[in-house]
Structure 1
Amino acid sequence: MLALLLFCLVPCGADDSCIPGILNTPSVVEYGTDLEANCSTTRDDFDELTLRLGNTSCTNPENNSVVTCAAPVLDFKMKVECRLRLNGTECMNATDIIVYQNPEVRLSVKNGSDEQEDYTLQCDVLSDIPAQNYSVTWFKNNETIKTEFIIGEQEKKDSSIMAFNISREEKFAQFRCEVQLELEQIETRPVISTTQNVSARYAPELRMNSSETITVPNGGNVTLHCDVEGNPPPEYVWAIDGNPIFQTTKWLEIDQVNSSIICSCTASNVLGKITVKIHVDVEEVKTEAEKLENCGLTLTPSYLYVKYGNPASIDCYTASTDLAKMAWETAVGQSFGTPPNVTWRVEKLEDFTVKPFCFVTLLDDTQCIKKPEITLYKPPDLVAVSGMVKMKEGEEHTLRCYIFNVAPANKLQVTWYKDGRNVHTANFESLDVAPHTECFKNSAVHPCDVSSNYTFIPNKSDNASLFTCTAELQFRPAGPLPPPSVASAPYTAVVEYKPTIKKCMFSGVEDSFRLHDVPCETDGNPPPAIEWQYNGTRIDEFKLLKRTDSGTYKAKVYNSMGEDSTDVVITVEYKPMFSCERNYTVKVNEKANILCEPDGVPSPNLRWFKNGTEIVPHYWKKNESGWYSLRASNKHGEVEHQFYLDILYPPVFTETNATEILVAGKNFSFVCKAEGNPEPLTDWSYPIRDNVQKTTKGRQKIITITTATSTNAGSYICNATNEFGNVTRTIQLKDKSTDNFQFWWIILVVLLIFLLIIFLVCFYRRTRIHGEYNFVATNDTNIAMQNRSAVENGVKSANGQS
C-alpha cells in the first residue's frame, strides 16, 4: 500500500527530457576583440542556464530564459557552450569559433643582377597563427598590377615575390602590397605594407663626351671628373697610363703634372660598365729660338673641326722680324690682315678637299709654310629605323638604321636604344654600308648613305616598345663637344605572340548579361578572339543567360600564334522564389527547422511571420497551428509564401478520473472525449449489462445506464488513441450499500484490535504480580539478590516475546 501511495505522488505526464538551449553567436571573430553571444531556451521549468565563452561563464539572472555574455577572444581554439540543467540532467549545445588575426606585412626591395629584372619585391606575411587562405595584391603608383591567391594549408607560403623593370622614361615608381585574409563568413580589412620608392636602373653612361683633352702648364695641378651616371650608383676605378691607382670616387686630383698622360676612369655597376679616357697634355714653354723655328709661325687653332656649311677662320702669327711677305694660300675663302698676323676666313665651308696654308717669305728669300688640320664634317640629313611590319615572338628579326648624307662615314658610331635603354653599339667597322661601300674604300671624303643593323629575338615584352638609333660622329680626343649626333624617330615594334587568358569569375543578373560581357583579362597579338564552351560544346556568347546556365565554362582565346584557355565560374543571380507546399505538418515539441527552402542567388535571407508579426520559432507547441508566411529577400528582390502549419500531438483528456455513487433507479451517461491531432479514436471498456448501452456521436463514445441497479457498479474506462499515443480515463461507479458494509467491517476490525491490546496489557500486569520464583540455598545475600534479579529479567523477557 505504501509503494502504491508513493507511485500516486509522482506527477503523471511530466516531460523530464533535457533539450539543449539555442545558441546565438558569431561564427568568425577577430583575435583580441570582444565576443558577444547569448543562449536561450523555450523551457520554463529548467534549473539553470549557463553560457560559457572560453574560460568565461555567465548564468541566467533571476531564472530568465536568455543568458547574454561577452568575453575577450584570446584563444585561437575558443569554444562556446550553452548548458541547460533540468531535474539533475545537463545537456549542452556547443560550437567552435573561427578566430582569425590579421598578419604583419613587410615589403622589401632587392636589386636584380645583370640577367634579371631591375628589382625584386618581396611581400612577407608574418603571423604566428595556423596557415590560412589569403590574397596578396600588388600596387604600382596606386594601380593594381597583380593579385595572388595563396592557399595556406596547401602551399605553405609566407611571401609573394614580384620582379619588374622601370624604364628611363618612368624615372621612378611607388610600390606597396596589401594582404587580406580570405574568409567565407566575413570580409576582413586589408593589411597594407609600407610604400617603397624605386627608381629606374641602367648601366653607367656618359653625361657629355666620351673622352676629352685637357692642357695644363708644365708642373701644374689638374682635377679630373669622371662625368658618368648610372643606377645603381657605379663604382669608379682610375688608372694613369694603364696603371691602376687607389682612387674610388668620380674625382681625381693630380699634382705637378710634368708630362702628358692618359687617364682612364672605369665606372661599373651590375648592369654594365663604361670607360672614359682623358688626355692630359703639358704645355711646354718655348724658348725664343723655338719660337723662331719655322719662321716662328703659329696657327690658332692648329686643329679645326667645322660643321658643313658653317663659317671657319684661322689666325696665322709669326715671331720673325725680317719679313718680306706673309699671307694665306687657299682656293676657298679669303686672306686678310697685316703681318705679323694674317687670318684665313671662309663664310660657308662646303669643300671637303680644302687645304689652306700660311706662308712667310723672309728678306733672305727663306720661305716657311704652316698647314692647319681641318676636318669638315656633315651630320646626317636623316636617320630612320626600318623593319618588317610585324615581328613574331621567338623568331629572329633585324631592324635597320638608315643614315642619309653623312661625312666622314668612317667616324660614325651607331647606338641602338629600346625604350631609352642602350641595347647595342656599332662603329664603322661593323656597319652594313651597302650600297655605298666607296665611302669606306675611297680616302676622299664626301657625304654618303650608310646603314646599321640590329638583330635580336623578340618576345612579348617587346611589343609596343620604341626602338631608336642615334648616329654620332666621334672625333677623339679633341673633337667638338658634345659629339655631333642625329637620332631617329621612334620605331614602334609590333610583336605577334600567342594569347593568354587569366582566370576570371563573374556574377550577373538573369536575363541581363551574356558571356560576351564577362571581363576576362586577355593578352595576345594579334588581339585574340574568344570562344566559350560548356561541356565541350561551343556556346553563343551573346545569348542572355538564365539561372539554369550557372556553372563552369571554358573560355578559349586564340590568334594566329596559338591559343590558351581557362575555366570560368559563371554565377547567374536572380531574385528569390518559392516552390513549396501550402500545407505542412510537424510534431509537437519538434525543433522549428526550415520547412520550405527558398531558391535564389545570392542565398536569400529568410524571415518568419504569423498574423503579420515577425517571429523567431524555436520548438512547436500544440496550440501554434495556423497560417504562417515566409519572406525571402536578397539584393534582387523579395517574395512571400503563405502556408498552413498543422502541429500533431498525442491524445489529451480535458477531464481527470472521476468517481460517482450509484443510486438505484437513476440514469447515468458517460462521454468519452479527448483532444489530439489527428483527432483521436475513443472507446469504452465497461461491465456489460442489459441496461447499459454504448452509442457513437462523431468520434465520441457515450455510455448510457438506464434505471441503474447494484449490478452496474464497477469501472468504466475510456480509451483515446491516435498515431502518436493513447491515454485512458476511468470513471468509478460505486454502490452506496457496499460502502456501508465496508464501513461497518472496518469498525469491527478496529474493535477487535483494541480488545486484543487490552488483553495483552492485563496479562502482562498479572504475570508481574503472581509470577513464579526460583531460590538458591546460599548464605551469601548478594548471590540471592542476583538470582532474584535474574528471575525478574527472565519474566520481562518472556513478556516482551509475548
Structure 2
Amino acid sequence: MDVCVLSLFLTILCLGHCENSAITDDCTLIVLTPPSLLVKYGDLVQVNCSIQRKPKKPYLVGWESKTSQPITETETSLMWNVESLTNWEEPVGLRCYYTETDMNQRECYVNLTIYKPPDSITLSSVSAEWTEGTETELRCEIVNVGPGHKLSVNWSRADPKQNNTLTVFSTTSFPDLVNNISSVTRTVKLNVTARHEDDGLQYQCEAVLNLDQYGLKVYKSQPVSITVHYKPVIRQASYQVHVYTGQSLTINCSADGNPSPVYNWISPNNIISSPNSSIITISSVSTEHQGQYTCNATNSAGEATMNDVLTAHLHGSGNPEAAQLQQAEQP
C-alpha cells in the first residue's frame, strides 16, 4: 500500500509540479554515457543516464524518446535501450530528464546520429560506346541511403596508364534534400564530353555521407570501363626525305585510333607492294622512287593523312649527311 501511495505521489509531482516549472537544459547533474554516438540504421543502441547522488526527496529519472520511454523512481541510473534503431526521427528531442520536489526539471540531450549504407550503388553509361567530341551521360543509381541531407556524390575516373588511380573530377550535391533526415533513393546523372584519351578509362561513382564529427562514409560503385571511338592520329608528321640511291628506306604511317585504322598509300608509279600496311619499306632506293607518298589512315570516326616527299640523290651528288637519312619537317 505504501508503494502505491508513493507512486501516486510521484505521478502528481510530475504532472503538476513539472508542468508549471521551468525546464533547464543541464548536463552537469545528469551524466550521459556516451553523450554522443553514431549508430548504423537497424543496429542496437544503448545510452545510460545517471545522476550523481540519490536524492532524499521524491524524484524521477526518465527518458523522452520516440521509441522507448523508461522511467525510474528508485534508481540513480537508467538505460535507454533500443534493439533495432529504425526511427529516423529518434535523434530529434532524445533526452534524459531528472526532477525532484522543489527543483526545476533538468534535461540533457543526446547527440545521436543515424546513418544507413546504400542497399546498392550502380554506375552505368547511356551509350555502350562513346564518340570523341560528343556528349554522353553517366548514371549513378543509389538505393536507400541516409540521411538524405548528408548525401553527396563523387565522380571519379582512372587512367590505366597511371596504375588505375581514381581521381575525383566532379561532385554532385542535393540542395533539395537539406531538410531530409531519412533515407533516399536517387539516380544521379552526369554529362561527359568524350575525349580520345578517355578510351579504356574507368569511371566510378561514390555515395558520400558527411557525418560531421564522425567523418565521411564512402560507398563505391563497381568501376565501368569506357570505349571511345576516335579518328586516327598519325604519330609522325609529314617530312621531306633525302636519301642516296641504293639505300633502304622505311616510311612509317602508324596511327592511333579506335576502331583500329586501315591504311591506303598513294605512291609515285604505284610502286608500293603493300599499300594497306602502316609501314612501307624500299629495300634499294632509285630515282624512280622519287615523289610524294601519301598515306591515308581511316576508321569509322574519320581519317588522317600524311604526305612524305622523297628525293633520291646519286652517290657523289650532294651530301645528305654522309648517306644518313635526313628528315626535315615540311614548311
Normalising by structure 1, we get a TM-score of 0.28
Aligned-partner Cα distance in 2 for 1:292–1:307: 27
For residues 290-689 of structure 1, the aligned pairs below 5 Å read 296-319=29-52, 321=55, 322-330=57-65, 332=67, 339-354=75-90, 356-363=94-101, 367-387=105-125, 388-419=127-158, 420-429=166-175, 440=177, 443=179, 445-476=181-212, 478=213, 480-481=214-215, 483-503=216-236, 520-535=253-268, 541=275, 551=289, 553-567=293-307
- RMSD of aligned residue pairs (Cα, Å): 4.1
**CA deviation profile, 1:434-488 (whole Å, cap 9, x unmatched):** xxx7xx38x5633211233333433222222222222211133x2x13x111122
- Secondary structure at 1:383 match in 2: strand
Which structure's CA Rg is the greater one? 1
Aligned-partner Cα distance in 1 for 2:25–2:182: 38
Aligned-partner Cα distance in 2 for 1:487–1:404: 12
Letter in 2 for 1:343: M
Residues 327 and 358, structure 1, Cα contact 8 Å, conserved in 2: yes
Letter in 2 for 1:300: T
Aligned-partner Cα distance in 2 for 1:332–1:472: 28
C-alpha displacement at 1:502, in angstroms?
3.2
Letter in 2 for 1:424: S
Unaligned runs of 5+ in 1: 1-290, 430-436, 506-517, 571-602, 604-802
Q: Structure 1 384/519 Cα, relative in aligned 2: closer, same or farther at 3 Å?
A: farther
- Secondary structure at 1:398 match in 2: strand
Aligned-partner Cα distance in 2 for 1:541–1:519: 12
C-alpha displacement at 1:382, in angstroms?
2.4
Residues 295 and 368, structure 1, Cα contact 8 Å, conserved in 2: no
Residues 328 and 344, structure 1, Cα contact 8 Å, conserved in 2: yes
Residues 415 and 469, structure 1, Cα contact 8 Å, conserved in 2: yes
Residues 26 and 106, structure 2, Cα contact 8 Å, conserved in 1: no
Residues 149 and 181, structure 2, Cα contact 8 Å, conserved in 1: no
Aligned-partner Cα distance in 1 for 2:254–2:282: 24
Residues 301 and 315, structure 1, Cα contact 8 Å, conserved in 2: yes
Q: Structure 1 413/536 Cα, relative in aligned 2: closer, same or farther at 3 Å?
A: farther
- Secondary structure at 1:558 match in 2: strand
- Secondary structure at 1:410 match in 2: helix
Aligned-partner Cα distance in 1 for 2:229–2:30: 67
**CA deviation profile, 1:669-725 (whole Å, cap 9, x unmatched):** xxxxxxxxxxxxxxxxxxxxxxxxxxxxxxxxxxxxxxxxxxxxxxxxxxxxxxxxx
Q: Structure 1 382/549 Cα, relative in aligned 2: closer, same or farther at 3 Å?
A: farther
Normalising by structure 2, we get a TM-score of 0.62
Aligned-partner Cα distance in 1 for 2:102–2:151: 48
Aligned-partner Cα distance in 2 for 1:325–1:453: 54
Letter in 1 for 2:258: N
Letter in 1 for 2:217: P
**CA deviation profile, 1:75-122 (whole Å, cap 9, x unmatched):** xxxxxxxxxxxxxxxxxxxxxxxxxxxxxxxxxxxxxxxxxxxxxxxx
Aligned-partner Cα distance in 2 for 1:462–1:488: 19
- Secondary structure at 1:470 match in 2: strand
Identical aligned residues as a percent: 27
Letter in 2 for 1:417: S
C-alpha displacement at 1:523, in angstroms?
0.6
- Which residue in 1 is equivalent to 2:329? none
C-alpha displacement at 1:560, in angstroms?
2.0
Letter in 2 for 1:488: S
For residues 14-53 of structure 1, the aligned pairs below 5 Å read none
Q: Structure 1 536/497 Cα, relative in aligned 2: closer, same or farther at 3 Å?
A: farther
- Secondary structure at 2:197 match in 1: helix
Aligned-partner Cα distance in 1 for 2:103–2:151: 45
C-alpha displacement at 1:569, in angstroms?
9.4
Aligned-partner Cα distance in 1 for 2:186–2:105: 44
Q: Structure 1 295/303 Cα, relative in aligned 2: closer, same or farther at 3 Å?
A: closer
C-alpha displacement at 1:405, in angstroms?
1.2
Residues 336 and 343, structure 1, Cα contact 8 Å, conserved in 2: no
Letter in 2 for 1:326: V
Q: Structure 1 390/293 Cα, relative in aligned 2: closer, same or farther at 3 Å?
A: closer
For residues 204-219 of structure 1, the aligned pairs below 5 Å read none
Residues 324 and 363, structure 1, Cα contact 8 Å, conserved in 2: yes
Aligned-partner Cα distance in 2 for 1:323–1:384: 58
Letter in 1 for 2:195: N
**CA deviation profile, 1:148-178 (whole Å, cap 9, x unmatched):** xxxxxxxxxxxxxxxxxxxxxxxxxxxxxxx
Residues 406 and 447, structure 1, Cα contact 8 Å, conserved in 2: yes
For residues 117-128 of structure 1, the aligned pairs below 5 Å read none
**CA deviation profile, 1:503-531 (whole Å, cap 9, x unmatched):** 499xxxxxxxxxxxx97532112222222
Unaligned runs of 5+ in 2: 1-23, 159-165, 240-250, 311-322, 324-331
Residues 292 and 319, structure 1, Cα contact 8 Å, conserved in 2: no
Aligned-partner Cα distance in 2 for 1:472–1:392: 30
Q: Structure 1 569/414 Cα, relative in aligned 2: closer, same or farther at 3 Å?
A: same
Aligned-partner Cα distance in 2 for 1:292–1:542: 85
C-alpha displacement at 1:533, in angstroms?
3.1
Letter in 1 for 2:111: E
Aligned-partner Cα distance in 2 for 1:569–1:496: 31
Aligned-partner Cα distance in 2 for 1:292–1:498: 70
C-alpha displacement at 1:422, in angstroms?
2.6
C-alpha displacement at 1:365, in angstroms?
8.8
Aligned-partner Cα distance in 1 for 2:211–2:33: 19
Residues 499 and 562, structure 1, Cα contact 8 Å, conserved in 2: yes
Aligned-partner Cα distance in 1 for 2:252–2:76: 86
C-alpha displacement at 1:293, in angstroms?
5.1
For residues 79-94 of structure 1, the aligned pairs below 5 Å read none
- Which residue in 2 is equivalent to 1:123? none
Residues 336 and 344, structure 1, Cα contact 8 Å, conserved in 2: no
Aligned-partner Cα distance in 1 for 2:41–2:269: 71
